[in-house]
Every structure is written in C-alpha cells, then in structure tokens.
Amino acid sequence: MAILEVLHYPDPGLRKKAVSVETVDESCRILAKDMLQTMYENNGIGLASTQVNVQKRLVVIDLSEDKNEAIYLINPEILTSEGTGESQEGCLSVPEYYDTVMRAERITYRYQDLEGKVIESEADGLLSVCIQHEIDHLDGKLFIDYLSPMKRRRLRKKLEKQEKQEKQEKQEKQEKQEKNQAKIL
Ligand code: NI
C-alpha cells in the first residue's frame, strides 16, 4: 500500500471533474486501498480521488474511532435529499481551516462497491454530510466555495503565505544540512 500526496487548495487539480469508473477492476481496488491508507495517515474521515490528483469517481470514508469501518464508494451519486442543516467542516485539502456550511440533512444515494455491485442506501448525520462533501470534490468543488467571496479571498491569502513560509523553512534546513555535510569532509 502506498501513501499518496494530497493536493492543497488552491492547487488547480482540485478543480478537475472526475469521470465515471467504467469497470471496477484490480487497479481501482488498489487505488481505493491506497486512498484509505492516505486518509488514515492524515487523520481524515473522508477522501475523494480528486484530492490525490486522480480523476476517477472514487471515494473512501471511515467514521469509526478505530479506523476499521472503511466504506468505499465508486461512482457515488445522490438520488434524493431532504431538509437542510448546519455542518461544521474541515478538509484535508484545506489544512487547519474549519467553517460552517449548509448541507442536506438526509440523502438517498447510489454507488458501486469494490466488486462493482450497485447499491442504494440512505444516510443522515455525519455520513450524509461526508458523502455530500466528497461528491463535491469529484465535481471539482470545495466546502469553502460555499463561503462568502471575502472570506475565501482572506483564506487563500493566508494559505499561500503559509505554504511559502513552509517552503522557505524547508530550503533553509536543507542549506544548513548541506553546509554541515561540507564540514564533515
Ligand atoms: Ni475534503
């Protein structure tokens, strides 16, 4: 199993629309397992393929405390939705940012499992929110798109600054290391 790189906002890859999985085969199952491992590694409860820069409609979710109740959704789609409620959300692609967005309370949905079997089910609470959030990812949409443009602009600036800072620190550390190595000679 491999840990994949998770794209961070504002990476343009997060805006790509994923295409349907035609046949659920071994490569699809391997991607699903890698995505699950990546999600666990980052302490997330949901991950969509778009976030690891793969444009196939595949989602992994695990809401359990012990990380042992994985749900794999291939080609997930919402059939009906009912009610609206506030949801406090974060996202592995928008690090350390949380905000409230409106989501449907109850949904019915259809997907294929890892064997390609078509399943219809219903969800409410956290699972309902999570499925809506992840399907948005497959369509190139982020939860921060529901915020006001001003709030989003501010957030983008903050994250770009953060990323720049991290890059700089990394570079300085590397330069220091190279210097140290030179002395060892
Ligand atoms: Ni997300």
Fold of 12-147: Peptide Deformylase (3.90.45)
Query: Which residues in the chain come in under a pLDDT of 70?
Result: 184-185
The domain locations on the chain are: 12-147, 148-185
Identify the pLDDT of residue 160.
87
- Ligand 1 center from residue 156 Cα (angstroms): 16
Identify the pLDDT of residue 1.
80
Question: Order of strands, edge to edge, in the sheet holding 94-112?
Answer: 46-48, 58-61, 71-91, 94-112, 118-124
Identify the pLDDT of residue 34.
98
CB-CB neighbours of 169 under 10 Å: 10
The environment of the single-atom ion ligand 1, i.e. residues with CB closer than 5 A, is: 91
Contact 19, 64 (CB under 8 A): no
- Ligand 1 center from residue 88 Cα (angstroms): 12
- Ligand 1 center from residue 99 Cα (angstroms): 12
Identify the pLDDT of residue 184.
66
